[in-house]
């Protein structure tokens, strides 16, 4: 998944970008955390385009400024008669460039940390959404029980934050939902029938629950 994200990042940056392959590789590693569905990649890349454009502009601006500040004057002063011997170089790059790279690494590190947090949140939200859709397509949940199902989802997400995939999360939702149903005396949940025609009136206990909610004004009167 990382390689696919990296390829999309390079396409989004274009050939003339100032962002290095090394930076894009680290960003792809961060963005790939928790992403198991390839269809999520276009949305993730689209969300990163403003950041990539801003990072490209910042690098170009800082590099241009650094070069400008260190360009020798047009008419340099004449050297002294006995100039001192230049110090021996300690590395292959000037000190100003070393300092500039250090600042860039610190900035990128901070951005990476923010992206990692944001990426995990987005991946988690996408997984929850898909798991809820998968659950509702697999099991019967009447309109009167939607709020009960949402409570089960909230409990599962608070008590278990280590779901590896959609199926694991669906099983967690099922366990919490059946526990809540048993507390109020409802039977086990049913698998959706092949022909989705609804389950109204198919369960005496649910009919009784609906009648109570109508009497309390929490549901509208059924149409005759």
Write out pLDDT tens, residues 108-123.
777 777 767 776 777 7
pLDDT band (50, 70, 90) for residue 218: low
Q: For residue 202, how far is the Cα from the chain centroid?
A: 41
Give me the residues paired with residue 115 across strands.
none
Q: Is 191 helix (H, G, I), strand (E, B) or coil?
A: strand
Burial of 178 (0-12, 13-18, 19+ CB in 10 A): middle
Per the CB < 8 A criterion, the answer to whether 149 and 142 are in contact is: no
pLDDT at 112: 72
Q: Is 192 helix (H, G, I), strand (E, B) or coil?
A: coil
Per the CB < 8 A criterion, the answer to whether 128 and 157 are in contact is: yes
pLDDT at 77: 67
Both tokens of 66, joined, read: 């650094």
pLDDT band (50, 70, 90) for residue 199: very low
Both tokens of 155, joined, read: 């409990």
Both tokens of 92, joined, read: 């292959």
pLDDT at 52: 74
Both tokens of 193, joined, read: 């029938």
Q: CA 53 to CA 29: how far, in whole Å?
A: 19
Per the CB < 8 A criterion, the answer to whether 142 and 200 are in contact is: yes
Phi, psi of 94 (to 5 degrees): -70, 155
Domain borders along the chain are 2-71+95-127, 139-215
CA atoms within 13 A on the CB side of 109: 6
Phi, psi of 43 (to 5 degrees): -65, -40
CA distances from 20 to 59, 98, 106 (A): 10, 16, 15
pLDDT at 60: 72
């Amino acid at each position: 998944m990382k390689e696919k994200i990296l390829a999309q990042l390079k396409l989004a940056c274009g050939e003339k970008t100032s962002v290095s392959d090394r930076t894009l590789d680290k960003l792809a590693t961060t963005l790939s955390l928790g992403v198991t569905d390839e269809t999520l990649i276009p949305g993730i890349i689209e969300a990163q385009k403003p950041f990539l454009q801003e990072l490209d502009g910042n690098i170009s601006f800082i590099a241009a400024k650094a070069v400008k500040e260190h360009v020798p004057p047009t008419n340099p002063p004449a050297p002294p008669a006995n100039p001192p011997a230049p110090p021996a170089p300690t590395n292959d790059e000037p000190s100003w460039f070393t300092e500039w790279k250090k600042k860039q690494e610190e900035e990128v590190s901070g951005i990476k940390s923010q992206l990692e947090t944001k990426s995990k949140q987005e991946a988690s939200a996408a997984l929850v959404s898909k798991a809820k859709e998968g659950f509702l397509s697999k099991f019967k949940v009447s309109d009167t029980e939607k709020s009960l199902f949402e409570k089960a989802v909230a409990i599962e997400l608070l008590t278990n934050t280590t779901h590896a995939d959609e199926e694991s999360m669906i099983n967690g939702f099922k366990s919490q939902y059946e526990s809540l149903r048993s507390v109020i005396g409802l039977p086990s949940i049913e698998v959706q029938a092949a022909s989705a025609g609804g389950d109204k009136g198919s369960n005496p206990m649910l009919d009784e629950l609906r009648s109570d909610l109508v009497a309390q004004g929490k549901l509208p009167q059924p149409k005759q």
